[in-house]
Amino acid sequence: MKKDKNCVYIFDTTLRDGEQSPGNSMNTEEKLILARQLERLGVDIIEAGFPIASEGDFDAVKQIAKEIKKSQVAGLARANKTDIDRAWQAIKGAAHPRIHTFISSSDIHLKYQLKKSREQVLKEAVAAVKLARSYTENVEFSPMDATRSDKDYLVEMVSAVIDAGATTVNIPDTVGYAIPEEFGNLIAYLFAKVKNMGDTIIATHCHNDLGLAVSNALAGIRNGARQVECTINGIGERAGNTAMEEVVMALQTRKDIYGLYTKINTDQIYKTSRLLTQITGIPVQPNKAIVGANAFAHESGIHQDGLIKEKITYEIMTPQSVGISDTHIVLGKHSGRNAIAHHLKKMGYVLDDEQLNKVTARIKELADVKKDIYDEDLEVILSEEIYRGEDKYHLVYLNVVSGNVAIPTATMEMQVGKDVVREAGFGNGPVDATFAAIRNITKTNYPLMKYVVNAITGGSDAQGEVTVQLKYNSHSVVGRGAHPDVIVASAKAYINALNRLEILKSKGKNC
């Protein structure tokens, strides 16, 4: 790879390190699907897997290497002949193959895991790079647990593997131990002390155990690193890896700070994130940066007002830049009149101040009991508050007691004209008891011809929409009501039907 000092190369290890996190295992076909999307995304290097790990992993890496033409395809190998030979067998058919070999460099790992001396490990590292270099000029080396290694020993190892032929040297924060200032200083130290650096690309591979993976990667970039090893959605061992989308968009959004670029097609970011969640079944947290459901959603009235006037007031990047169709204005209890009016206008409704006040009050009331408010909910509110005439009957209060050992009982207050009337009703179920209470209050007893319940939107907190049809003489009237509580929705529908019946009476119909 010819080094461009202004380019940060993206090494995606979703298919290798990302797959190692619990629940993220993928079969060969799923890996191929994701690899194709990673190529469309524009990643520079796809680490396709660890070929020695299993026959399945070997086969997946081999198929990916055969199919991918634009991105480099890397196979991971420990610093030994068996691993490196196996990795080469898997990736040798790639248009741009890379062998990525590694061995630990920290005294902690050498003493407790490898049980080898520094001299032995250094010798094995150099031998591994030379063997890999005999297969391909594109060789990457990683001193595992670099951030807990002796700095001077790390300098010695990096210098030795560069002399042996490594073109990329990755500095892993394997256990997510470093903090940004410390990690940045380590990268700077290597550039200052490794005398044969030349065109070698220094990479970062940061884990997120302290929630600092992205910050550490960016600190590395500020100090000269030009490759970032990362994963989609930040998946990976334990708390995960550097999130690709966060690093890429940080570099793009803050060009004034970094002055660097990547080759990522950012409008493919969201699509790639969604594909990964569909394959693994592991959702992204709603407040996840860049790709979370709330990343471009706004409920605060102050924020919504600013966005309507000028999006840059509260959005530092456009949703379209990462492949999301548009900003999502969430109507809820924090929404202001301006945001509600703007959204209703987009739906085709223009309200005067009095009507807007009524609708705003209803939205806030509904938001106290229902998490998400959809356009269908707004249409119900409009029909009840704006496009309905002066009603004779209004629901004030409803309490229902029901169960398999209780007699269903509804206690209700209604406004009838200027009076407030309280009554109770009994029935075969909560809805029957509610209708009985309404009949007792209104002194009516029209035959019930239809009773239908539908969910207006999806989700367990969706409003129930109830349709009631009452018969009188040769006529019938239909009433509708909506509420997250189906019993309340039923009461509202029945009362709506009675109010419509009153309108017919006022027009001289024979009831």
Which has the minimum average pLDDT: 253-257, 409-413, 483-487? 483-487
**How many angstroms separate the CA atoms of 120 and 71, rounded?**
35
pLDDT of residue 110: 97
Residues 494 and 444: their CA atoms lie apart, in Å, by 11
Grouping H, G, I as helix, E, B as strand and the rest as coil, residue 297 is strand
Mean pLDDT, to the nearest integer, of 398-406?
92
Question: Inter-axis angle of helices 28-41 and 55-67, to 10 degrees?
Answer: 40
- Which residue, 485, 457, 492, 490, is CA-closest to 331? 457
Give the tens place of pLDDT for each residue, 456-499: 666 666 678 888 888 877 677 777 788 889 999 999 999 988 98
What is residue 483's predicted lDDT score, i.e. its pLDDT? 87
Give the Cβ contact number of residue 392 at 10 Å: 18
* Averaged pLDDT, 188-214: 97
Stretch 285-289: mean pLDDT, rounded?
A: 84
CA distance 170 to 148: 14
Distance CA 245, CA 236 (A): 14
Residue 173 has pLDDT above 80, yes or no: yes
**Choice between 302 and 291, residue whose per-residue pLDDT is larger:** 291
Domains contained in the chain, CATH given: 9-280 (3.20.20.70), 297-384 (no CATH), 393-506 (3.30.160.270)
- How far from each other are the two terminal CA atoms of the chain, in whole angstroms? 87
d(CA 421, CA 414): 5
Distance CA 18, CA 125 (A): 25
**Among candidates 164, 223, 226, which has minimal Cα distance to 201?**
226
Q: What per-residue confidence (pLDDT) applies to 362?
A: 83
Is residue 11 within 8 Å of residue 229, measured between CB atoms? Answer: yes
Angle between helix 375-385 and helix 353-367 axes, rounded to 10 deg: 130
What pLDDT does 356 receive?
87
Q: Is the pLDDT of residue 511 over 50?
A: no
Determine which of 17-21, 231-235, 357-361 has the lowest per-residue pLDDT on average: 17-21
Model confidence at 40: pLDDT above 60:
yes
**Of 12-16, 60-64, 195-199, 283-287, minimum mean pLDDT range:** 283-287
For residue 63, list its beta bridge partners.
Answer: none
Label residue 339 by pLDDT band (50, 70, 90). Answer: confident
Name the more confident of 84 and 338: 84
| Contact predicate 47/16, CB 8 Å | yes
Residue 61 has pLDDT above 70, yes or no: yes
With a CB cutoff of 8 Å and minimum separation 6, the contacts of 242 are 204, 205, 206, 208, 213, 214, 216, 217, 228, 229, 230, 231, 234
Higher pLDDT, 318 or 254: 254
